[in-house]
Amino acid sequence: MAEVTYTGGPLPVAAKGRNSVGWLGVLCLIATEACLFAYLLFSYFYIAIQRGPGWSPEPNPSLAMAGPNTLILLASSVAAWWGEGGAKGGQRTRQLLGLSLAILLGAIFLIVQVFEWKAKTFRPTDGSYGSLYFTITGFHMAHVVVGLAMLIAVTGWSWLGLFQPRRHEPVSNVVVYWHFVDAVWLAVFATFYLAPHLMW
Amino acid sequence: MTAWEDARTPRSAKVTPSSPGPRLQKIWETGPGLKGWISSVDHKEIGKRYIVTAFVFLLLGGIESLVMRLQLSGPNRTLLSPEAYNQLFTMHGVSMIFLYASPVLSGFSNFLWPLLLGSRDMAFPRLNALSYWVYLAAGLFLYAGFVVGRGPDAGWFNYVPYAAREFNPGVNIDVYALGLILLGISTTVGAANFVVTFLRLRAPGMSIDRVPILTWGTLTASVANLLAVPSVSLAFFLLWLDRQFGFHVFDAADGQPLLWQHLFWMFGHPWVYAIVLPAMGMVSDGLPTFCRRPLVGYTPVALSTVATMALGFGVWVHHMFSTGLPDISLSFFSGASLIITIPSAVAVFAWTATIWLGRPVITTAFLFFASMIVLFVIGGVSGVMTGSAPVDWQLTDTYFVVAHLHYVLIGINVFPVVGGAYYWFPKFTGRMLSERLGRWNFWTMFLGFNLGFFPMHLLGLMGMPRRIYTYSAGMGWDTTNLVVTLGAFLFAAGVGLFLINVAVSLKRGRIAPENPWDAPTLEWATASPPPPYNFAVIPTVASRHPLWEHRLNESAGRSCLDEGLLLDHGRETLGTTPLDGEPSLILEMPGDTPAPAILALGLAVLFAGAPLKAWWLAGLGGVICAGALVLWFWPRRVHADEPEAAHG
């Protein structure tokens, strides 16, 4: 009987995009982090349901800062996506511009979040609502910081010209993580800012 | 520039003694000295370190249990104070569940996976090294607290309010909380590595219906870890905030203490399956070798492995039947707990049928694997009993539960692991363990275990609660407790015989050939122990049993082991497609680097600063971590010195 050996054509070396192992690694990271936020929000809803109306010290949280800030974070995702397109197409200026814009918008989000925290009338030690509000938004801000650090690293390396055109895999991996950080914010935002208007 | 500019048609070659072995040896070899040792990312090195470290924790946990058994051997003994007893039973649980049971399986899988799958390493070798170093750091961290008398002391599942600051003001629980978060990092990165390796690093031709069952077990456990570990890490983090920063999440006045139990068991129950499914996989692969036939029911066993895990996410509340939850919840989770016996039993029937239809060769490894079936059935039946809510109300927090969980964990983890050690020792070390001593080892462990743990069922039925540091005379428990203690020491003697066998055989054991058991899978197609590059050429696989094809004739083609892809432009291995195992890329593997060890050191410093509230120390740890990450991720300039890059 015939032995089976390789007869195919050329294979990509350290492939880019979805064919790479790094991409799958980032998806694993995103899966486990998504679970982390699911457990965080579970804790919030679990205590909210057990405690019932009157638990939250702010039954109608203001959207004045959080609303526009959400749009800023989404815009940051769009900028990152546009910059990633530059990396794929070998357009270095577009790549640097898009990634830099994403960093800038992400940083603005972070600063507005600090003001949002300061504007709250309750502290984490006042009760379980405060504890969970600051823990969950704090976890998200920590992820924004990590995402920004990663964006700054790949943008810096792009400036230095350390990525050959085909070696933009780290850019795609960081950008998808950034999209994830933004998507998580939508869940956090819906939980703390939108749901209370529906719940009580 | 075209997309194919950086593509290459990999060269095939036939293996001869002079080629390509020596060349690959130079490329893959770990450097000499301490620096080489710290920098190694070889999965075989890491696997062995995992196994040895896990066994050290097994011995520590074992010694703790023996001290407890001396205290409980008769009524009103005063060997231990209640405080010391609390720390001992907590550290015993922590050591066995977290620092032995899961890491030892990671060790076997780390060593074996690339060999089973026909690859040269795991998908992320540096992450693999990180996983080990962080595990070691977390173990030392937890034991550091214990050594200075500040070990965790509220039981391994650490219920609030016992674990709240009000009732437990010392640093003990903070050590536990932070230690487990650290360990969670190790588990998570290890799990991601297994998932990606399974999807992309199998030999060409190894479609997912041809992988050994062990890889199904570890894959399933790894996916579960990715989904479940965040729950316990979060629970411990919230507890730390409650205890040290005045948060109120688990606070009865304003939060909800029961949330702790939910978060803990949403993790805890899947974790129980994560520490048995890979061990069951070891039996599914090892047992058929000694039955001289393929496993009966490969597909049902693989599918039921996954099904057990999926259902395992829906049974956590059976740990909480006595907390006053609504009846509807009890019915649902009790039902799910009974249904899970169906996929669990599939493997039992498959192993039994394999022995029945095979021609068993009785070796020590066979005895350990086969006896595991018996212990699994006993532990499974007592599990079904406690899975029923009314029975559980009677039995919860008694020695019946202690008996159940030890039958399950020792039966389905320790017995397969020791059996696996007998089976794969030649591959690990190049020498065989002694079979003569092995028989003594097996029978001492088997009898000691049953003598030590079976009577616990009776103690539980007689109403002896778990976690009591002593009991009065005249409860009717005295003799049974003495028998349990004798059994525990006999079991420990059995483990001692195993260690003696390992120590003696490492020096004087028979030299092992490539395939001493005439086994069917790829790890036996390379030298014992394997060279740093595992396989001189990437094997091509045509069936589930590449080394038994000449007997089984189960596939049209033949696997090809001595001729295949060379991949020698630096450390390279083949990436294949997730389902069919078709070649799809050439992977450039990283070289040895100290970055993972430095990162683990940084994390350890960070976590050491936290319970002491020495923020400068934590900050220093953070800086070390950042430096290690930059070193790790700095883009590599590659392909500058290729000997024969053939651009297609």
Q: Is the pLDDT of residue A44 over 90?
A: yes
Residues in B closer than 8 angstroms to A124, CB to CB, are 241, 245-247
Q: Which of B112-121, B132-141, B630-639 comes out lowest in average pLDDT?
A: B630-639
- In this structure, what are the phi and psi dihedrals at residue A11, rounded to the nearest 5 degrees? -115, 145
pLDDT band at A90 (very low <50, low <70, confident <90, very high): confident
* Residue A6 to residue B583, Cβ atoms within 8 A: yes
From A43, A46, A165, residue closest to B1, measured CB to CB: A165
Q: Which CATH architecture has domain A19-49+65-199?
A: Up-down Bundle (1.20)
Q: For B614, which DSSP code?
A: -
Confirm if B74 and B159 have CB atoms less than 8 A apart: no
Per-residue pLDDT tens for B433-452?
A: 999 999 999 999 999 999 99
State how beta strands B7-8 and A11-12 pair: antiparallel
Q: Give the C-alpha distances (Å, rounded to integers) separating B265 from A182, B100, B270, B372, B389.
A: 29, 19, 8, 26, 16
The shortest CB-CB distance from A13 to any of B6, B234, B251 is to B6
For range B365-370, the mean pLDDT: 98
pLDDT, position A166: 63
User: With an 8 Å Cβ cutoff, are A2 and B557 in contact?
Assistant: yes
C-alpha torsion sign, points B331, B334, B336, B341: negative
Q: Say which amino acid occupies A127.
A: G
Using a CB-CB cut-off of 8 Å, the residues of chain A touching B558 are 1-4
Polymer length in residues for chain B = 648
Bridging pattern class, strands B12-14 and B7-8: unpaired
CB contact under 8 A, B248 and A125: yes
A91 touches chain B (CB under 8 A): no
CA angle B94, B100, B103 (to 5 degrees): 120
Nearest Cα residue in chain B from A1: B557
Taking contacts as CB-CB distances below 8 angstroms, the residues of chain A near B124 are 21, 25
Look at residues B101, B89, B104, B223 and name the one whose alpha carbon lies nearest to residue B157. B89
Q: Tell me which range, A167-176, B115-124, B337-346, is most confidently predicted by mean pLDDT.
A: B115-124
Residue B256 DSSP SS3: coil
Burial class (CB in 10 A: 0-12, 13-18, 19+), B449: buried
State residue A3's pLDDT score: 54
pLDDT at A59: 85
Nearest to B294 by CA among B515, B551, B560: B551
Distance CA B541, CA B552 (A): 15
- Give the C-alpha separation, B88 to B212, whole Å: 39
| pLDDT band of A13, cuts 50, 70, 90 | confident
Task: Classify B538 as helix, strand or coil.
Answer: strand
Taking only residues 143 to 182 of chain A, the set having a beta carbon closer than 8 angstroms to any beta carbon of chain B reads 153, 157, 162-163, 165-167, 170
| pLDDT value at residue B247 | 96
Per-residue pLDDT tens over the stretch B499-515:
999 999 999 999 999 99
User: Any long-range contacts for B529-532 (C-beta under 8 Å, 24+ apart)?
Assistant: B529/B44, B529/B427, B529/B428, B529/B429, B529/B430, B530/B44, B530/B115, B530/B427, B531/B21, B531/B24, B531/B25, B531/B28, B532/B24, B532/B25, B532/B28, B532/B29, B532/B30, B532/B42, B532/B44
Q: Tens digit of pLDDT for each residue in B232-271?
A: 999 999 999 999 999 999 999 999 999 999 999 999 999 9
Task: Nearest by CB to B192, from A29, A90, A135: name it.
Answer: A29
| B568-618 confidence digits (pLDDT tens) | 999 999 999 999 999 999 998 999 999 999 999 999 999 999 988 999 999
In the predicted structure, residue B129 carries a pLDDT above the cut 90: yes
Query: Which pLDDT tens digit goes with each residue over A110-158?
Result: 999 999 999 999 999 999 999 999 999 999 999 999 999 999 999 998 8
- Which of the pair, B642 or B116, is modelled with greater confidence? B116
Q: Highest mean pLDDT range out of B87-96, B578-587, B637-646?
A: B87-96
Residues in chain B within 8 Å Cβ distance of A167: 635
- CA distances B434 to A128, B366, B421, Å, are 60, 14, 12
Q: Are strands B12-14 and B560-565 parallel, antiparallel or unpaired?
A: antiparallel
Q: Which residues 17-76 on chain A approach chain B with CB closer than 8 angstroms? A: 19-21, 24-25, 28-29, 31-33, 35-36, 39-40, 42-43, 46-47, 50-51
- Residues B522, B528, B531, CA angle at the centre, nearest 5°? 85
Query: Rounded distance, CA B323 to CA B302, Å?
Result: 35
Q: How many residues does this entry show for chain A?
A: 200
**Helix, coil or strand: residue B110:** helix
More confident residue, A89 or A115: A115
Domain ranges for chain A, please list them. 19-49+65-199
Q: Which of B4, B10, B196 sits opposite A24 (nearest CB)?
A: B196
CA distance B515 to B543: 18
Q: For B587, which of A21, A90, A163 is closest by C-beta distance? A: A21
